[in-house]
Structure 1
Amino acid sequence: MNRKELQHIAADWFETQGWTPFAFQKQTWTAFLQGKHGLLNAPTGSGKTYALWVGIVLDYIKRNPNYASKHKKGLKAIWITPLKALSIEIKQAAERFVEGIDVPLTVGIRTGDTEQKVRTAQKRSMPDLLITTPESLHLLLASKDYDKMFKDVTAIVVDEWHELLGSKRGVQMELGISRLKTVAPKLRIWGISATIGNLDQAKEVLLGPQSEAFKNSVLIKANIAKKIKVKSIIPKKMETFPWRGHLGLHLLDEVVPIIKNSRTTLLFTNTRAQCEIWFQKILERYPEFAGEIAMHHGSINKETRIWVEHAIRDEVLKAVVCTSSLDLGVDFAPVETIIQIGGPKGVARFMQRAGRSGHQPGKESVIYFLPTHAIELIEASALQKAVVKKEIEDRIPYLNCFDVLVQFLTTLAVSNGFYPKDIFPEIKSTFCFQTLTEEEYQWVLNFITIGAQSLQAYDEYKTVEIEADGKFKVNSRGVAMRHRLQIGTIVSDAIMTVKYLKGGYLGSIEEWFISKLKPGDVFTFAGRNLELFKVKNMQVLVKKSSQKTAKVPSWMGGRMSFSSEMSELLREELYLANASSGKSKELKALSHIFERQQRESIIPGPDQFLIETFKTREGYHAIFYPFEGRFVHEALGSLLAYRISLLSPISFSIAFNDYGFELLSDQQIDMQQVLDNDLFTTRFLHSDLRKSLNATEMARRKFRDIAVISGLVFTGYPDKMLKSKHLQSSSQLFFNVFRDYEPDNLLFQRAFTETFAHQLEEGRLQQAMERIATQNIIWKDCKKPTPFSFPIITDRLREKLSSEKLADRIKKMRVQLEK
C-alpha cells in the first residue's frame, strides 16, 4: 500500500466518527510513514493522541500487508505517560481506532498499579502496543533478555514531554531511549509537548543532540488557535493595605454564581491547605452543594482521586476544588469553567489550567482569576497579556546527573549485563551526558563495582561484578531484587518532628526548612520562638528562646515561586502604574493603592530599584523590591543580611514573598553604608552565598535524594519501608565520609551543584543582581509601612499567631495606617 492509500484508511475512519482530521494530524502521519522522528506541539484536547497512534498503526499495515492472516505477536510500540491516571484514556483511544479499522493489534497497560497476574501474562506474551511510565520502562530494561522483547519495536512516544524535561525523570527517559535505539534498529522516537519556551531544545533533548534521529527529525506545531478568555474577579471593596490572610475567601460569594452557571467548574488552589479550606468553606456557607462538590489533591488516597476523575467525566459533580494534581492530561470534556485562586506563579501553568475547560477542538477556554490579595491583580493583568503574546517559560534540562547514571548502569547489569565500551557512546549521545569524560565514566564504573574510593573495604557496596570476559553483571539475587524495588527518581520530602530538649512534642515541620538552619538559629513555630539545638535522626531538638527576632518557617506547598518570565511580566505591568493611559481594568481597580503608595513612597519605574525603611514596635524594617519571586528573594535576603553583618554586628529576621523581602532588626541599619559598600555586587557571589545560607546543610539534605536514586541507601521492602530517620542518618553518614575522605566524589559534588542551580536558582539570582546594578537605587525612609510592604510584613506575623488573632492584629494595624 502506498502512503496515499494508507492515509485514506485513517481519513475514512475519521469520517465514520463524524470528525475531520486536522492538518497537524495528517502531517504527523506523513512524517511517521516517511521514517522520521519528531516532536509534536499541540494543545490539550486537540486530538494529539490520534496524530501518533494512527501513524503507528498505518506503519504496521504498510510493513505487514498480510496482517489479517499472518499477525506476528510481540511488542511493536511503546507509549510513555508521566501519569498513571492518563493510561486508561490513551488505551481507549488506541483501541477505538484499531477496532474501528479491524486490525488485530492488542493494547496493554503496565504501571505501578498493574496487577501481578497481568504482569506475569505480559511476560509470556507482550501486547502489541504498550502504555507505560518511565519507571516501568526501566523495570522492563532490568528484566532478562529485554533486548529480545524490544527488538521489533518501531515507535516510542513520550507524552507530556514538557513535564518530564526539567526533571530527573527526563534524564531517566533519555538513558532508556539511548539503549532502545541500539536494541530496536527500526525505532522511531516521538514526543508530545504542550507549548514551552524552548521547543527546539526539547526536541534535541528527546532525540540526542548529535544523533541520526535528530538529523532526521521534524517539529510539528498544531496551529490551532486556542482561545483563552481571562476574567478577573475584582473585589467591590478593596483594602488600601492588602494582605494574604484570608486566602481569597472574602470573594466566596462572587464565586458561587459562576459555579451555578457552569456545567462543571474546577477551582485550582496553589496549596493543599488552601484546597481543604476552600472546600470546607463552600460547604459551610452553601450546604446545598453537598454531594455535588468534591476535592482532589495529591495527599488524598488513590481510590477517591479516581472516583472524582470519573465523576467529573460523567457530569455527576458541579465543582471540584483541586491543586496541581489535576493540571495534566485527564480529558474532561464537561468542564466549562476554571477558577484560579491566587497567582499561578507561571504562564505555562496558567494556560495549562485554562486548557482544562473547553477541552475540545475549537472550544473557547474560560478562566477566572481570583486574587487572594489586591496586589495579585497586577499578576492577573500581566497574565492576560502573556496569554495573548504566548510568552511561555522554558523548561531547563538537567546535565550530568551521575546518580541517575549509576542507577541506569546497575539496571543493565541486573538484566543481561553490559560491556562498558559498548554503552559509553550510547550514554554520550544523550543531552544530559554529552560532556561526560572517560575519567567520569570510569569513576561511575568503579562506584558500582567497588563502591567509591572510601567504601572499598565494605563488600556490601560491591553491587556489580566484572566477569572474566569484561562483562559487568549483578549475580546476587538479593542485590537485583533491592535494585528493582528502588528504580525511579522521585524521592518524597521528609517530615521532621519538633521536640523540646526535655521532652514535649510541638508538631512536625518539613525537612527542607530545617536544612537552612544551623544550631543556635531561632525560628518561630507553633506560636513560640525556638532555638535550634540540634537535628538528631529525624527529630528537631529545640529550646525556648527569649530572642525577639526569628526565622519564619513556610511549607513546601507554599513554596511555588514566580518563573523568571512571570517576574519580568509583573515588573513591566507594575511600571505601567505610573503611566497616565493604557492601563488595564485591573490596574485601574488598584488606583487607590497606587495613590497611597506614591504618597508614602514611590512606585518604581523601569530604571529604579526601591528600598523602604521604617520603624514599628517590632523593630527596624528594611524592605527591598526586586520583584523576582520568593526563591530569589530568600537567597538574596540571606546574602544581604550576611554582607551587612560583615560591616557591623547585627542580626536579622528575614521574611519574603514574590514581590520583595524584609530584613527586620532590633537596631537600625545604616542604609547609606549598605549603598556605599556596593552590597549588590555579584563579586564573590558563590562563596558569600555558601556562607550566608547553611549551604553544606542544604547539600546534605539534597544528598539524601541522590543516595536513594544511586542505590547507596535502600528505602526498604514494600511492606516494610525504612523510616525517614534511618534514611536520613544513613545518607548523612555517607555525606560525612565523602566530605572528610573523598571530597571529589561525583555524587557528593552533585549535591552542591543541585543546591545552587535548582534550589537557590543561583543563575537567576546573578541576573537579578546584574539588573539591580544597572538601576538607580531609590531609598525611601518612610514614616510607616506602605501598601507594597504590608503583605510582606503580615506574612511574617502569620506563623506567630492563630488566624483569628492575625486577622484582629492586622485590622488594628490597618486602622492605624489608614488614619
Structure 2
Amino acid sequence: MNKTQLIKLAESWFSKQNWKAFPFQKQIWNAYLKGENGLLNAPTGSGKTYALWIPIVLEYIKNNPDYKEKHKKGLKAIWITPLRALSVEIEQSALRFAEEMGTNFTVGIRTGDTPQKIRAAQKRSMPDLLITTPESLQLLLSSKNYGKTFKNLNAVVVDEWHELLGTKRGVQVELALSRLKTISGKLKIWGISATIGNLQQAREVFLGPESEAFKNSVLIKANLDKKITVRSVIPEEMEKFPWRGHLGLHLIDEVVPIIKNSRTTLLFTNTRSQCEIWFQKLINKYPEFAGDVAMHHGSINRETRLWVEQAIRNESLKAVVCTSSLDLGVDFAPVETIIQIGGPKGVARFLQRAGRSGHQPGKESVIYFLPTHAIELIEASALQKAAKKTAVEDRIPYLLSFDVLVQYLTTLAVSDGFFPKEIYPEIKSTFCFNSITEDEWRWILNFVTKGSQSLQAYDEYKKIEIEEDGKFKVNDRGVAMRHRLQIGTIVSDAMLSVKYVTGGYIGTIEEYFISKLNPGDVFTFAGRNLELVRIKSMQVQVKRSSKKTSKVPSWMGGRMTFSAQMSELLRQEMYEAAASVSKGTDSAELKALKPILKRQQKESIVPDNSQFLIETFKTREGYHAIFYPFEGRFVHEALASLLAYRISLLSPISFSIAYNDYGFELLSDQEINMQQVLDNNLFSAEYLMDDLYKSLNATEMARRKFRDIAVIAGLVFTGYPNKMIKNKHLQSSSQLLFSVFRDYEDDNLLYQQSFRETFEHQLEEGRLRIALERIASQEIIWKNCEKPTPFSFPIITDRLREKLSSEKVEDRIKKMLKQLEK
C-alpha cells in the first residue's frame, strides 16, 4: 500500500465514526509516514491521540501486508504520559482503532499502579503499544537485556510535553530518548504539547538540539479556534478591606445555581487543603448534594480516584471538587462547566482547566472565576484578556542536572552495564547536557565508581565497578535493588499512608503535617473527619470522628507563585485599574472593585505604569513598610530579604517579613528612615548575587535543595516499601554530606548544583533582576499613611495567619476591620 491508500484507510474509518479529520491530523499522518519526527501543538480535546496513533498502525499495515493473518509480536510503540490518570483514555482510543482495522494489536499499561503479575507477564511478552510514565520507562532500562525489548521499536510519543519541560522528569525523558535512538535506528519521535510561549525551544529540548532527529523534524500546530468564555463570580457586596481568609467560601451560595444548571461541573482549587474544605462546606450547607458531589486529589487512594473519573464520564456525578489532579488530558465529554476557585497563578494552567469543559472539537469552553478575595478580581480581568490573546508562559528547561545523570548512569549499570565512550556522545546530544565538558564527565564517572574525593573511604558510595573490558557495571544485588526502588525525580516530603484501625486504606498524607498532631486530634481528609489514634511504621491509624471542628491538612504543594506572564498581565490590569478610578471602565470586574480602588486612592494611591508604590504606617504591632512590585511570591520573598539586608547595612534594624503575589512587607519595632532608603538607591541590581547570597542565607536554602539532589543521585536511600526512612533522618543524612562537601570538596558538582538551582529555579534570579531594572525606571512614590490601606490588608492578614489559629485570626481581623471602617 502506498501513502495515499493508507491515508484513505484512516479517512474512511473516520467517516464511519461520523467524524472528519482535521488538517493537522492529516499533516501528521503524512509527516510520520515520510519518516519525520516532530512536535504537535494542540489543545486538549482536539483529537491528538488519533493524530499520532493512526500513522503508527498504518505504517505497520504497510510493512506487513498479511497483517490480518499473521501478527508480528513485540513492542512497536511507546506512549509516555506524565499522569497515570491519562493511561486508560489512551488505551481505549488506541484499541478502538487497532481492533477495527483488524491488526490484532495489543495495548498495555505500565505505571506505578500496575500490579506485579501484569508486569511479569509484560516482561515475558511485551504488548505492541506500551503506555507508560517517565519513571516506568527508566525501570525498563534497568532490566537485563533491555536492548532486546526495544530493538524493533518504531515510535515513541511523549504526551503533555509542556508538563515535563522545565522539570527533572523532562530531563529523564531526554536521556531515555537518547538511548532509544541508538538501540533502534528506525525510531520516530513525536511530542504533543499544549500552547507554551517557547514552542520552538520545546521541540529543540525534546529532540536534542544538534541531533539527526531534530534536523529531520517539523512543528505542526492545530490551529483550531477554541472559544473560551471567562465569567467572573462577583460578590453582591464588596468588602473595602479584602483578605484571603474565607477561601472564597462566602460565595458558596453563588456557586450552587451554577452547579445545578450544568450537567457536570469541575471546581478547581489550587491546593489539596482548599479542596477538602470546599467539599466539606458544600456537603454541610447543601446536604442534598450528598452522593452527587465527589472530591479528587492526588493523595486520595487510586480506587476512589478511578471511581470518580468513571462517574464523571457516565454523568452519575453533578460536581467534583478537585486540584490539578484533573488538569490534564482526561477526556470528560460530559463536563459542561468549570469553576476556578482563586487565582490559578498562571495563564497556561487557567486555559488548560478551561479546556476541560466543552472537551470536543468546536465546542465552547466555559470557565467561571471565583475570587477568594476582592483583589483577585483584577486577576480575573487580566485572564479574560489572556484567554483572547492566548498569551502563555515559557517553560524554562533544566541544564546540567548532574543528579539525574548520576541516577541514569546507575540505571544503565544495573541492567547491562555501559562503556563511557559509547554513552558520552548520546548524553551530549541532549539539550540538558549539550554543554557538559570532558572534565565534568570524568568527575561524574569518578563519582559513580569511587564516590567523589571526600567519600572515597566509604564503600557504600562505590556503587559501580569497572570491569576488565572497561565496562561500568553494578554487580552488587543489594545496590541494584535499592537503586530500582528509588528511580524517579519527584522528591516530596515522606508520605504516610492513612488507614482505619480496623483496616481499609484511605490515602496518603505528608509527614510534616501529621508530625504536628497528637493522638486524639481530629483532622479532615478525603471528605471525612478522622481522629488520629497512632502512627505506627509509616502508617497513620485513624478512626471516624463526629467532632465538628477539625484541622485540614496542608500539603507542601500549596506554595504556588505567579508566573512571569501572569505578573506582567496583572501589572497591566493594575495600571488600567488606576485609570478606571477617574475615567470609569467597561470591565465588570473593575467596576465591582470601584469601592476598594476609591478607598485605596483616598488613603494612598493606585499606582500606574510609571509608578512604584511604597506605603508606611504604624500599628500596635510596630512600623510597617509595604512595597508593591506585583511580581509573584517567589520574587517577593527574595526581594524582601534583599531589601531588609541592604537597609540593615545602613542602620542596625531587624525585620519580620511577609509577602504575597502583589507585594511584601517589612515590619520592625523601630521606624525605617525611608528617605535614606530612596537616597541610597537600595533597589539597584548591582551586586545582586553577592547581596542575595548574604541576605537569604543562600547556604541554608541550598542545603534544603541538596536533600532532593542527594535523593535523586542516590547518595541517601529513602527506604524500602512500608519501611520508609523518616524525613528528618533523610534531612540529617543529606545535611551531613552537604557540610562535608562545603568544608572539604567545594568543587563537588552536586554541591554546586544545589546553589545553581536555588538561584535559577527557586529565587528566579533572572526575574528578580528584571524587576529591579523596572523599578529603577519608575518614579518611586512613598506614602506615609495613617493606617493600613486596602492593598496592604491582605499582606498583613496573611502574616497573622502564620502565627494564629484560624478562629483567632478571624476574630482579630474582625476587630481590625471595625477600626479601619471608622
TM-score when scaled to structure 2?
A: 0.92
- Correspondence for 1:77: 77
Check if 1:754 corresponds to 2:757: yes
SS of 1:171's equivalent in the other structure is helix
Gaps of 5+ in 2: 497-508, 517-537, 539-552
SS of 2:413's equivalent in the other structure is helix
- Correspondence for 1:357: 357
Contact in 2 for aligned 1:151/1:184 (Cα 8 Å): yes
Contact in 1 for aligned 2:272/2:554 (Cα 8 Å): no
The correspondence of residues 499-648 of structure 1 with structure 2, limited to 5 A, is 556-579=556-579, 580-648=583-651
Cα distance in 1 between the residues matched to 2:82 and 2:555: 25
Contact in 1 for aligned 2:156/2:189 (Cα 8 Å): yes
- Correspondence for 1:309: 309
Contact in 2 for aligned 1:414/1:474 (Cα 8 Å): yes
- Correspondence for 1:96: 96
Task: Give how far 1:804 is off.
Answer: 3.2
Cα distance in 1 between the residues matched to 2:798 and 2:421: 56
Task: Give how far 1:62 is off.
Answer: 1.4
Q: 1:671 aligns with which of 674, 691, 701?
A: 674
Q: 1:494 to 1:617 in 2, by over 3 A?
A: farther
The correspondence of residues 405-554 of structure 1 with structure 2, limited to 5 A, is 405-493=405-493
Cα distance in 1 between the residues matched to 2:558 and 2:77: 40
**Cα-to-partner distance string for 1:20-39 (whole Å, 9 max, x where unaligned):** 11111111111100000000
Check if 1:650 corresponds to 2:647: no
- Correspondence for 1:735: 738
**Cα-to-partner distance string for 1:172-218 (whole Å, 9 max, x where unaligned):** 00000000000000000000111111111111101000111111111
Contact in 2 for aligned 1:294/1:320 (Cα 8 Å): yes
Q: 1:130 to 1:43 in 2, by over 3 A?
A: same
Cα distance in 1 between the residues matched to 2:77 and 2:335: 32
Cα distance in 1 between the residues matched to 2:367 and 2:602: 35
SS of 2:803's equivalent in the other structure is coil
Task: Give how far 1:803 is off.
Answer: 2.8
**Cα-to-partner distance string for 1:521-544 (whole Å, 9 max, x where unaligned):** xxxxxxxxxxxxxxxxx9xxxxxx
**Cα-to-partner distance string for 1:538-565 (whole Å, 9 max, x where unaligned):** 9xxxxxxxxxxxxxx9973431111010
Deviates more, 1:560-569 or 1:297-306: 297-306
Matched to 1:307, the amino acid is W
- Correspondence for 2:530: none
- Correspondence for 2:549: none
Cα distance in 1 between the residues matched to 2:812 and 2:721: 48
Task: Give how far 1:568 is off.
Answer: 0.5
Cα distance in 2 between the residues matched to 1:247 and 1:84: 29
Task: Give how far 1:801 is off.
Answer: 2.9
Task: Give how far 1:663 is off.
Answer: 0.6
SS of 1:610's equivalent in the other structure is strand
SS of 2:682's equivalent in the other structure is coil
Task: Give how far 1:509 is off.
Answer: 8.9
Contact in 2 for aligned 1:165/1:396 (Cα 8 Å): yes
Check if 1:327 corresponds to 2:330: no
Deviates more, 1:299-308 or 1:161-170: 299-308
- Correspondence for 2:818: 815
Q: 1:258 to 1:443 in 2, by over 3 A?
A: same
- Correspondence for 1:535: none
Q: 1:710 aligns with which of 691, 708, 713?
A: 713
**Cα-to-partner distance string for 1:483-536 (whole Å, 9 max, x where unaligned):** 11111111113599xxxxxxxxxx99959xx9xxxxxxxxxxxxxxxxxxxxxx
Cα distance in 2 between the residues matched to 1:635 and 1:428: 34
SS of 2:605's equivalent in the other structure is coil
SS of 2:164's equivalent in the other structure is helix
Matched to 1:100, the amino acid is E
Cα distance in 2 between the residues matched to 1:645 and 1:578: 33
Contact in 1 for aligned 2:359/2:365 (Cα 8 Å): yes
Task: Give how far 1:12 is off.
Answer: 1.0
Contact in 2 for aligned 1:597/1:603 (Cα 8 Å): yes
Cα distance in 2 between the residues matched to 1:272 and 1:68: 49
SS of 1:219's equivalent in the other structure is strand
Contact in 1 for aligned 2:273/2:555 (Cα 8 Å): no
Task: Give how far 1:109 is off.
Answer: 1.1
The correspondence of residues 30-49 of structure 1 with structure 2, limited to 5 A, is 30-49=30-49
**Cα-to-partner distance string for 1:576-600 (whole Å, 9 max, x where unaligned):** 1232255411111111111111111
Cα distance in 1 between the residues matched to 2:456 and 2:710: 17
SS of 2:818's equivalent in the other structure is helix
Cα distance in 2 between the residues matched to 1:817 and 1:177: 60
Contact in 2 for aligned 1:265/1:318 (Cα 8 Å): yes
Deviates more, 1:328-337 or 1:384-393: 328-337
Cα distance in 1 between the residues matched to 2:665 and 2:460: 50
Matched to 1:389, the amino acid is K
Cα distance in 2 between the residues matched to 1:13 and 1:495: 47
Matched to 1:769, the amino acid is L
- Correspondence for 1:801: 804
Matched to 2:336, the amino acid is E
SS of 1:779's equivalent in the other structure is strand
Deviates more, 1:379-388 or 1:105-114: 105-114
Gaps of 5+ in 1: 497-506, 515-537, 539-552
Cα distance in 1 between the residues matched to 2:118 and 2:555: 40
Contact in 2 for aligned 1:154/1:186 (Cα 8 Å): yes
**Percent identical across equivalent pairs?**
77
SS of 1:799's equivalent in the other structure is helix
Cα distance in 1 between the residues matched to 2:495 and 2:156: 38
Check if 1:723 corresponds to 2:718: no
The correspondence of residues 131-142 of structure 1 with structure 2, limited to 5 A, is 131-142=131-142
- Correspondence for 1:128: 128
Cα distance in 2 between the residues matched to 1:155 and 1:237: 57
Cα distance in 2 between the residues matched to 1:12 and 1:240: 62
Contact in 2 for aligned 1:465/1:473 (Cα 8 Å): yes
Deviates more, 1:310-319 or 1:579-588: 579-588
TM-score when scaled to structure 1?
A: 0.92
Cα distance in 2 between the residues matched to 1:250 and 1:724: 37
Contact in 2 for aligned 1:577/1:583 (Cα 8 Å): no
Output the aligned Cα RMSD.
1.8
Q: 1:777 to 1:293 in 2, by over 3 A?
A: same
Q: 1:463 to 1:436 in 2, by over 3 A?
A: same
Cα distance in 1 between the residues matched to 2:480 and 2:510: 36
Contact in 2 for aligned 1:263/1:315 (Cα 8 Å): yes
SS of 1:236's equivalent in the other structure is coil
Contact in 2 for aligned 1:593/1:787 (Cα 8 Å): yes
**Cα-to-partner distance string for 1:98-147 (whole Å, 9 max, x where unaligned):** 11111122111111221222111111111111111111111111111111
Matched to 1:408, the amino acid is Y
Cα distance in 2 between the residues matched to 1:508 and 1:76: 39
Task: Give how far 1:777 is off.
Answer: 0.5
SS of 2:758's equivalent in the other structure is helix
The correspondence of residues 342-381 of structure 1 with structure 2, limited to 5 A, is 342-381=342-381
Q: 1:228 to 1:15 in 2, by over 3 A?
A: same
Cα distance in 1 between the residues matched to 2:39 and 2:687: 41
Number of equivalent positions: 771
Cα distance in 2 between the residues matched to 1:394 and 1:371: 25
- Correspondence for 1:682: 685
